[in-house]
Amino acid sequence: MVNEPTHAPLLSIVVPVYGVEAYLYQCLESIRADIPAGESDAVELIAVDDASPDGCGDMLRSYAVSRDGVRVVHLSSNVGLGLARNAGLDVATGRYVWFVDSDDWLPPGTIAAVLDRLRQHQPDVLMLDHLRMHEDGRREVDASSPLLRGITGVTRLADQPQLLRVQHTAWNKVVRRDFMDELELRFFPGWYEDIPFSHPLLIGAEKISVLDRVCYLYRQGRQGAITSTRSGRHFDAFAQYERLMDWVARKHPDERLQAELFELMISHYLVVVGNDGRLHPHLRRDFFHRAAAHYRRYLPTGGYPLPPGVTGLKHRLIGRGDWVAYSALRQAHRVAGRLRRPGPAVGADGGSLAADEDPGRGASAGPKHDGGLAPERRDALAVGRLP
């Protein structure tokens, strides 16, 4: 049962919950304890128990009993992160919605800053900065965070195109509910569910606001996180990109935009295929060839800006479908990396990386570490089809 709020809040925070018994209380308390005095009617917290196999369901029941403004949805069967978010969205009553993952948490002062910015700018999308939090206590700035700097007032993607290269997750964006409905956006099942959700938000928004403040603490290295799980489900990324490319072709058929998304897509595939923590060795060749098929299918008519250096070379090898050359290049760089370092390099997603691999950036790996190139540098890159 879900208790309806007596007043429509400004902000609904939706927290899908599955298998996070050790982290759930920290997440919920970081939200509730951060709601400013006198603002309890402005925020509702909706926790969705996605048929969690541990004690999360009971924790949520007891947590909601003694706390106002907390609503719990219990699903009868496990549906996965994306569909659990949809279930929370279906009962949310706030003007804005923020999807927070249940193993992460918010730093103090976040909600007051978010509410203030929502009231001040009334954006379609509010973008937030975050830190990566490692199990050893180390805090890491995301490679894409500098792209959020220096943006005041409201803007559009056409005026700040680098925003498309900020980590494309749901949890670093607060979204106006009616705007989401206008775009007909919901989450799809499967892994990498943020891909066909996050990019369209920025593409379709007339008013984007950027809160240049760390508002989210993103836990790294948790057992069970998809970026550290070897599984064939990483192939879900292909269906998610197909949904994104279909949406863009129907809603915003702009060749420059398609070229930018194409480069991001291929770079993301390279993250997955090159990372030992995501694919079993026997799946790597099949993943590479699926990526090559998408290269041929979605290559823009006018080409696209190839990344520089080794990354650009790997793009060319995918374009040619040359698995033998790619695997030889990957192995050579892994050997060279071992000779240069006493231990394996650690990527931004916590996985062991070879010297030539582009570190991923979470469940929906977005731009690579060289993704923050200045616009004038990117424009100088060669644009065209593979030779």
**254 in a domain, yes or no?**
yes
Name the residue range of residue 71's domain: 1-103
Task: Indicate if the pLDDT at residue 379 is higher than 50.
Answer: no
- Answer whether 206's CB lies under 8 Å from 156's CB: yes
Domains of the chain: total: 2
- Tell me the pLDDT tens digit for each residue of 177-230: 999 999 999 999 999 999 999 999 999 999 999 999 999 999 997 766 666 688
Which residue among 103, 130, 156 closes a domain?
103
- Are the C-beta atoms of 16 and 56 separated by less than 8 Å? no
Can you give the pTM of this predicted structure? 0.85
129 part of a folded domain: no
Q: Is residue 289 part of a domain?
A: yes
Predicted confidence band of residue 338 (pLDDT cuts 50, 70, 90): confident
pLDDT band of 162, cuts 50, 70, 90: very high
CA atoms within 13 A on the CB side of 320: 13
Residue finishing a domain among 38, 71, 103: 103
Instruction: Examine residue 66 and state whether it is found in any structural domain, yes or no.
Output: yes
Instruction: Write out pLDDT tens, residues 321-330.
Output: 999 999 999 9
Q: Residues 369, 238: one domain? A: yes
Confidence of residue 360 (pLDDT cuts 50, 70, 90): very low
The answer, yes or no, to whether residue 1 has pLDDT greater than 70, is no
Distance CA 66, CA 134 (A): 32
The stretch 362-371 carries a mean pLDDT of: 32
User: Is 376 among the domain residues?
Assistant: yes
pLDDT tens across 49-91, in order?
999 999 999 999 999 998 888 999 999 999 999 999 999 999 9
Report in angstroms the alpha-carbon separations of 352 from 222, 336, 367. Answer: 15, 14, 18
186 part of a folded domain: no
Q: Is the dihedral of CA 219, 225, 230, 235 positive or negative?
A: negative
Cβ neighbour number for residue 375 with a 10 Å cutoff: 10
| Pair 227, 360: CB distance under 8 Å | yes
363 vs 96, which has greater pLDDT?
Answer: 96
Q: Give the confidence band of 4 by pLDDT, cuts at 50, 70, 90.
A: low
pLDDT exceeds 90 at position 2: no
pLDDT at 336: 77
Cβ pair 318, 298 in contact under 8 A? no
pLDDT for residue 364 is more than 50:
no
pLDDT exceeds cutoff 70 at 170: yes
pLDDT at residue 276 tops 60: yes
Task: Output the pLDDT for position 380.
Answer: 30
Give the three-class secondary structure for 12. strand
367 pLDDT tier (thresholds 50, 70, 90): very low
- The alpha-helical segments, DSSP class H, found in the chain are 24-32, 56-65, 81-91, 110-121, 177-182, 195-204, 236-251, 255-273, 281-298, 309-320, 323-340, 375-379
Is the pLDDT at 286 greater than 50, yes or no?
Answer: yes
Which H or E run includes 130?
A: strand 125-133
* Residue 6 reports pLDDT greater than 70: no
Residues 232 and 375 in one domain: yes
Which pLDDT value is given to residue 370? 28
Of the candidates 224, 221, 19, 223, the one whose C-alpha atom is nearest the C-alpha of residue 136 is 221
Q: Give the CATH number, domain containing residue 21.
A: 3.90.550.10
pLDDT for res 347: 35
Give me the DSSP letters along 180-226: HHHTT--PPSSSSTTHHHHHHHHHH-S-EEEEEEEEEEEE-S-TT-G
Residues 98, 233: one domain?
Answer: no
Distance CA 273, CA 263 (A): 15
Mean pLDDT of the chain: 86
- 151 is a domain residue: no
Interval 268-279 mean pLDDT: 93
Which of 103, 122, 139 delimits the end of a domain?
103
Region 242-258: mean pLDDT is: 94
